């Protein structure tokens, strides 16, 4: 543990996006670190940046540069030493990261479920309902279950999307249960059963990155690293890497812990939801070969309308 005297000599700068949810995640990270080390939170300075992904709100993420739009400004600050570590939503971090960075911590994972706002369930959506989402996974899952529905692009933070819904731009939309909880809006919408509606890879997890050669910060972050959450998030990221998916690739995955093993269920879709392939695998924690085997099985059984959106492992 870092002592009070040590930390007073060496303060830390935490980088984050400026959105309300990102700020809430940064504050949670700061407070967990302060509690773990017995220090005043003031020793961890939050430094916020407006990410490209937050500035561009009128197009789907996949159309304007993908997940890098959430990370590139913070990556530049981290590489230059302007910040000591960066806090991200794990699901928004590219699968292949610069070798100069390391995952210093994965915080305890929150509720992984999606929340449907505007109807009590997918089945309860009115015939021909217009549903707002910019996530290929959510769009494909919806159209697979309800091909009568229409999907329109919804970008923006939680408040923006709820305002669009209230303005009548759609009949319903999806939000992440974890994000709503972190924003104190737990009464919003209806959670969907994660066993039936599989979440996004790494959903509900906060990832903290630092420079790989920064031993001081790595040791500081290790105090809040959650072993089970790290194992499941890294396994889901390994699945993504083996599939060769990107922001255009509709993939859903749910991972359960069973002692020292993980059980992973994953589904791949065609973007229009017409086709789906699903599989399950059980493997040891921290075994990247397990997710790779599941990826190979899914790709082997995927019809061309699905497979074209995945390149497979490099």
Do 146 and 166 form a contact (C-beta atoms < 8 A)?
no
Cβ pair 109, 233 in contact under 8 A: yes
User: Which one from 92, 111, 114, 214 is the annotated catalytic residue?
Assistant: 92
Angle between helices 289-301 and 227-243 (to 10 degrees): 40
Greatest Cα-to-Cα distance within the chain, rounded to the nearest angstrom: 64
Note whether 105 and 224 are within 8 A (CB). yes
- Verify whether residue 92 is a known catalytic residue: yes
Q: Where are the beta strands (DSSP E) in the chain?
A: 12-17, 44-49, 85-89, 101-106, 114-117, 130-132, 150-152, 172-176, 190-191, 206-211, 251-258, 261-269, 276-284
* Positive/negative CA dihedral, 76, 79, 80, 84: positive
Is the backbone of residue 57 left (phi > 0), alpha (psi -120 to 50) or beta?
A: alpha
Distance CA 151, CA 94 (A): 25
Q: Determine how many CB atoms are found less than 10 A away from the CB of residue 102.
A: 18
| Residues 58, 25 contacting (CB under 8 angstroms) | no
- In the numeric block, the tokens 């309860």 are attached to 124
Structure tokens belonging to residue 306: 């699905």
Query: Looking at residue 10, what DSSP letter applies?
Result: S
Query: Contact 299/310 with Cβ under 8 angstroms?
Result: yes
Burial class for 58, CB neighbours closer than 10 Å (0-12, 13-18, 19+): exposed
Q: Which residues are known catalytic residues?
A: 92
């Amino acid at each position: 543990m870092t002592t009070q005297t040590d930390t007073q000599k060496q303060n830390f700068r935490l980088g984050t996006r400026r959105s309300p949810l990102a700020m809430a995640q940064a504050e949670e990270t700061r407070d967990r670190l302060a509690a773990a080390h017995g220090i005043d939170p003031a020793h961890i300075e939050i430094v916020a940046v407006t990410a490209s992904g937050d500035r561009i709100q009128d197009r789907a993420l996949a159309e304007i540069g993908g997940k890098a739009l959430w990370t590139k400004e913070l990556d530049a600050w981290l590489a230059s030493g302007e910040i000591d570590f960066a806090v991200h939503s794990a699901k928004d971090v590219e699968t292949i990261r610069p070798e100069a960075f390391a995952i210093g911590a994965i915080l305890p994972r929150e509720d992984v479920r999606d929340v449907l706002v505007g109807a009590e369930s997918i089945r309860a959506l009115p015939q021909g309902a217009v549903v707002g989402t910019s996530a290929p996974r959510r769009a494909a899952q919806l159209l697979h279950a309800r091909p009568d529905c229409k999907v329109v692009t919804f970008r923006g933070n939680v408040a923006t999307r709820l305002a669009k819904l209230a303005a009548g731009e759609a009949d319903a939309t999806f939000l992440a249960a974890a994000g709503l909880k972190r924003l104190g809006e737990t009464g919003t919408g209806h959670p969907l059963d994660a066993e039936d509606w599989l979440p996004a890879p790494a959903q509900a997890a906060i990832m903290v990155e630092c420079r790989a050669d920064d031993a001081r910060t790595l040791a500081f972050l290790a105090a809040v690293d959650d072993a089970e959450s790290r194992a499941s998030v890294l396994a889901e990221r390994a699945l993504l890497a083996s599939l060769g998916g990107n922001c255009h690739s509709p993939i859903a995955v749910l991972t359960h812990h069973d002692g020292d093993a993980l059980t992973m269920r994953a589904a791949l879709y065609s973007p229009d939801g017409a086709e789906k392939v699903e599989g399950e695998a059980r493997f040891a924690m921290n075994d990247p070969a397990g997710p790779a085997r599941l990826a190979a099985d899914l790709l082997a059984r995927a019809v061309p309308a699905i497979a074209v959106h995945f390149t497979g492992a490099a």
